[in-house]
């Protein structure tokens, strides 16, 4: 793995464990076995630029994971339910550290750094577009699909907060069941 990739990977893990404000460039350098010069070579804008890259790359990885799960699922309701279940299992296996740094960093930094706010907004928009496409592909009207996608993403991020607060994946599983049902209701409306 090259230096840039080591830096991004280390920062992703640090953001998951310690958040944006709890992570220093010295932490990143130590975890990535990279010099400060290397950090600024790849990310001339410093920590903020590094965060933007981490958020966008993590967001793309989670979107790819969803697409893989959706491709293997029996329709969009099953895909949503399976994704929530996988997230619950991941939380349990990783002692409830932040499963996805995008939401955590967004909550932490959206009002403090415009470039980070924009990076998180871009990621959430890309997720919403992908999920909306899954819904419209089965005949859901575009406006309904977009609202449902936003609801599912908001529910997922909120469920993460509850699960981490309680150190219990039950809120993610419960929210996943409800989101699956909500998608099923929308799909049943298409048949009615």
Q: What is the pLDDT of residues 5-22, one digit of tens each?
A: 999 999 999 999 899 999
- Cα gap 122→125, rounded to integer Å: 5
pLDDT recorded at residue 110? 87
Q: Mean pLDDT, to the nearest integer, of 124-145?
A: 97
CB 84 within 8 A of CB 176: yes
Residue 83 burial (CB < 10 Å; 0-12/13-18/19+)? buried
pLDDT recorded at residue 54? 96
Q: What is the pLDDT of residues 90-104, one digit of tens each?
A: 999 988 887 788 999
Structure pTM? 0.92
- Cα gap 144→146, rounded to integer Å: 5
Spell out the SS3 assignment of 10-70. Answer: HHHHHHHHHCCCCCCHHHHHHHHCCCHHHHHHHCCCHHHHHHHHHHHHHHHHHHHHHHHHH
Domains of the chain: 51-191 (1.10.357.10)
Is residue 192 predicted with pLDDT exceeding 70? no
Q: Mean pLDDT, to the nearest integer, of 140-144?
A: 96
Q: Mean pLDDT, to the nearest integer, of 38-61?
A: 95
Give buried/exposed letters for 144-154 (b at 16+ CB in 10 A, else e). Answer: ebbebbbebbe
Of 82, 61, 60, 59, nearest to 71 (Cα)? 82
Is residue 190 predicted with pLDDT exceeding 90? no
Q: Mean pLDDT, to the nearest integer, of 95-114?
A: 89
Residue 103 burial (CB < 10 Å; 0-12/13-18/19+)? buried
Phi, psi of 20, rounded to the nearest 5 degrees: -65, -55
Cα–Cα distances in angstroms (integers) from residue 171 to residues 28, 84, 98, in the given order: 32, 10, 15
């Amino acid at each position: 793995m090259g230096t840039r990739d080591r830096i991004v990977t280390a920062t992703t893990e640090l953001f998951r464990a310690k958040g944006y404000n709890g992570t220093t460039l010295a932490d990143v350098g130590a975890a990535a076995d990279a010099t400060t010069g290397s950090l600024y070579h790849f990310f001339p804008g410093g920590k903020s630029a590094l965060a933007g890259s981490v958020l966008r790359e993590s967001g793309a990885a989670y979107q790819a994971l969803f697409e893989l799960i959706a491709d293997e699922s029996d329709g969009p309701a099953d895909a949503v339910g399976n994704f929530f279940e996988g997230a619950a299992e991941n939380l349990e296996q990783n002692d409830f550290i932040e499963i996805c740094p995008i939401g955590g960093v967004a909550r932490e930094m959206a009002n403090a750094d415009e470039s980070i706010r924009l990076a998180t907004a871009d990621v959430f928009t890309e997720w919403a577009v992908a999920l909306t496409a899954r819904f419209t592909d089965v005949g859901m009207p575009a406006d309904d699909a977009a609202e449902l996608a936003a609801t599912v993403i908001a529910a997922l991020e909120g469920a993460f907060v509850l699960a981490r607060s309680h150190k219990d994946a039950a809120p993610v599983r419960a929210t996943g069941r409800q989101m699956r049902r909500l998608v099923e209701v929308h799909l049943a409306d298409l048949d009615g």
